[in-house]
Amino acid sequence: MKIVGVGSAFPEYLYPQAAITDAIKQHWGRRLTNPDLLERLHLRAGVTQRYLTFPIADYARPASFGETNRAWLEAGSMLGERALDDALARAGLVRRDIDALYVVSVTGIASPSLDARLINRMGLRSDIKRTTIFGVGCVGGALGLTRAADYARAYPDQVAALVSVELCSLTIQRDDLSTVNMIALGLFSDGAAAALVGGAQRGEPGPTILATRSVFFPATEQIMGWNISEAGFGIVLSAELPALIARELPHCLDGFLADNGLERSQVASWIVHPGGPKILRAIETALALKPCDLALSWEMLAEYGNFSSGSVLKVLEATLSRPHPPAGAYGLILAVGPGFSGEMLLLRW
C-alpha cells in the first residue's frame, strides 16, 4: 500500500496567539484572578498562530451545544471537501476514484454522519464504502490511516480516503477557568486534513506502508479525552501523560521495529503528532531522538496549533512536500490519544 496524496484545508480566520490570549482575558475579566498564569501557559504552548472557524469576537457570545454542533457540521463539511480535493489533486486522482471513505472527528457528532454529508456534497460514488470514527482524538489521524491501509491491503486495486475534520474552537468552555482549560485554549485549533492510500496494484507514487501497530494501555481512560455533558465537550487532560509516554512508548516502538527487522537508528524520518511541547519533549527524550528529528512537528505546532487528529497528517503533508530521504529509507508515523492508545505506521520511501 502507498500513501499517494495528502492535503489540508483551514478556515479563513487566522490570529496570532497573543490576540487569542488577549481576547480570553477580556472575556473573563475580573473572574480571571491570575492573568499571568494564562499568559505563561499560552507562551509555553509552542504556538505562534491559529486558525479559527469564526471571527474571534463571535466566541464571546454564549452558545448552546446544539448551536456549536450545527456549526461543526456546516463548516466541517466545507473544510473536509477542500482537504480531500487537495489530496486528490496532489495524487492526480478524481473524486470517482475513491472506493472507501474513512472520516475522523472528535469535535462534533451527527447522524447521518459527516461522511454521508461529504458523499452527497462531493457527488462521490453511491457504492463507496464508508466508515466514521469518533472518540479517538489526537491518535485519529494515524489510526484512520491504518484503517485505510487495511482496506488497501484487502483490495489492492482500489483507493481508500481518510478525512480528518477537527474544529476544536467550537468546543470552548467559556466559563471554565481551570488550568487544564487554559492550556486547551492556548493549544487547540481548527483544520481539516486528508490522505489517500492506494493498493499495491495501482501505479501512483508515494511512500509504501510496510506495517502498522496499534497499542492500547489498559486502565488509562482518565489520561485524555472529553467530559461530554449538556454543556458540550469539556477537556480531560492529565499531568500524568508525559510520564506514561516515557514509561511505555520505548518498548512498544522497539518491539514494533524489531518485528520488522529494524532498530530506531534505521528510521530516517519521524512523522510525529505535534500534541504540544510536553508531549513532543517526552517523545524526544524517551526515544533518544535528536532535535532535528522532530523539527517538522515543532514547526507545524507553531504554525497551525494542535488540530487533534489532523495534525499528524499535516506533518505528513509537510514531509512529502519537502526533500525526503532517498529511496529505500524508512520513516515512522506516530500518534497517541484517548484510550489511552498509540498508533504506529512504518514507511519506506
Q: Is the pLDDT of residue 155 over 90?
A: yes
Which of the following is catalytic: 138, 168, 252, 292?
A: 138
d(CA 47, CA 135) in angstroms, rounded, equals 24
> Is residue 347 predicted with pLDDT exceeding 90?
yes
> What is the 8-class DSSP label of residue 161?
E
List pLDDT tens digits, range 163-211.
999 999 999 888 888 898 989 999 999 999 999 999 999 989 999 999 9
User: What domains are defined for the chain?
Assistant: 2-198 (3.40.47.10), 208-348 (3.40.47.10)
Q: How far apart (Å, rounded) are the C-alpha atoms in residues 278 and 288?
A: 15
- Is the overall model pTM greater than 0.85, yes or no? yes
How many whole angstroms separate alpha carbon 123 and alpha carbon 144? Answer: 22
Q: What average pLDDT does the chain have?
A: 93
DSSP 262-281: --GGGEEEEEE----HHHHH
DSSP conformation letters of 28-55: HGGG-S-HHHHHHHHHTT--SEEEESS-
Kindly give the pairing relationship between strand 159-167 and strand 208-216: unpaired
For 78-103, the pLDDT digits (tens) are 999 999 999 999 999 999 999 999 99
Q: How do residues 242-252 score in pLDDT, each as one tens digit?
A: 888 888 899 99
Q: Is residue 138 annotated as part of the catalytic site, yes or no? A: yes
What's the pLDDT at 148?
A: 98
Helix segments in 199-337, DSSP class H: 241-259, 277-286, 295-304, 311-321
